[in-house]
Amino acid sequence: MKEALLYQKLDNNRVRCNLCAHLCVIHPGKAGICMVRENIDGILYTKVYGRSVAQHVDPIEKKPLYHFYPGSKVYSVATPGCNFRCRFCQNWDISQIVSNEILESGNGATSDQIVWSAKQTGCKSIAYTYTEPTVFFEYSYDTACSAHKAGLRNIYVSNGYMTPEMLDMINPYLDAVNIDLKAFRDETYRRIIGARLQPVLDNLKKIKQMAIWLEVTSLIIPGTNDDTKEISDMANFVAAELGVDVPWHISRFFPAYKMKDLPVTPLETLQKAKEIGIKAGLNYVYVGNVVSDRDMDTNCPHCGYLLIERLNFGITKNHIKDGHCPECGTKIPGVGLG
């Protein structure tokens, strides 16, 4: 095991982990809420360094990132563990169960090996994803440093619950993030997710101020976060606090894990959420996890011209020229758009 970063020693061999907003105080022989950071005799260790349990080449649209090198390939990496307890988790088998068996199934890939694999497979970037990158920070940080040296970009797909200290540390190596805004009620965050809303909002604002490309995803769950007022609050927050050019991905819920009793999000609800986002002034509102690919296209917010046409997590057309709409010349926000 590797000694953790970002913790402080307390009395009686206790430690405080300063990696995420839980700020766990951990007694000797115990682990934090994420289950993957353990106090052994007053030293905090990460149990997941090098324990990569998933490595795949994905289209960047799958993260989802629609305004960051569209059409490129990304090398996705995950270890076990998460600091959230989402009852609707799609990846619960690696995020919510941290057994020795699962940890030992990690392939032990070094940071340099991950970078090498990403280069070999023609990827432009590495995504720390599927589970929460915050809880494998040391591994993702070392890999991100190596990736930059090799000319690759780094992406976090995150729940946004890290501490400001962690964000400051990864900032020079992080190029893009997609943050889940899972609800806009603190009560929902506490009851369904096991966390608080405010740190996520604070981090979204902090990331926006950094030179990191930001996109936001909200999974709309029937009976949980789908009332008009809550969706409006989310959209208005993104527009007012992050900016109308931040892409907002509205994602369709499918029953999973401990919320199998709920229905799939109706298409009308997703369309309603899209309309709310547009009404809030957002220029780029996308609907994901649906059959209708037209809701995944990028249109110029000024003249409506079709800029990027998407199909099945890939792009079929990209008309953007030097970052601008070819029809009216409007600058399109993003990185490496074409």
The H-assigned helical ranges of the chain are 92-95, 100-104, 111-120, 137-149, 164-170, 186-188, 197-209, 228-237, 267-279
Stretch that binds ligand SF4, among 27-35, 237-245, 251-259, 271-279 (CB under 6 A): 27-35
Task: Give the x-and-dash track for 79-118 against ligand SF4 (CB under 6 A).
Answer: ----x-----------------------------------
Q: How far is CA 48 from CA 10, 137, 290, in A?
A: 23, 9, 34
Nearer to ligand SF4, 47 or 249 (CB): 47
How many other β-carbons are positioned within 10 Å of the β-carbon of residue 147? Answer: 26
How many other β-carbons are positioned within 10 Å of the β-carbon of residue 303? Answer: 11
Of the candidates 163, 207, 198, which has an alpha carbon nearest to the alpha carbon of residue 18?
163
Beta bridge partners of 76: 56, 127
Nearer to ligand SF4, 31 or 214 (CB): 31
Out of 19, 220, 221, 337, the residue judged to bind ligand SF4 by CB under 6 A: 19
Q: Is 20 in the site for ligand SF4 (CB under 6 A)?
A: yes
Q: Which residue is nearest to ligand SF4 (CB)?
A: 32
Nearer to ligand SF4, 71 or 199 (CB): 199
DSSP-derived 3-state class of residue 163: coil
Angle between helices 267-279 and 228-237 (to 10 degrees): 40
Q: Is 23 in the site for ligand SF4 (CB under 6 A)?
A: yes
Closest distance of CB 26 from ligand SF4, Å: 6
Calpha distance 83→207 (Å, rounded) = 19
Out of 48, 60, 78, 135, the residue judged to bind ligand SF4 by CB under 6 A: 135
Nearer to ligand SF4, 37 or 153 (CB): 37
Closest distance of CB 278 from ligand SF4, Å: 36
Nearer to ligand SF4, 45 or 75 (CB): 45
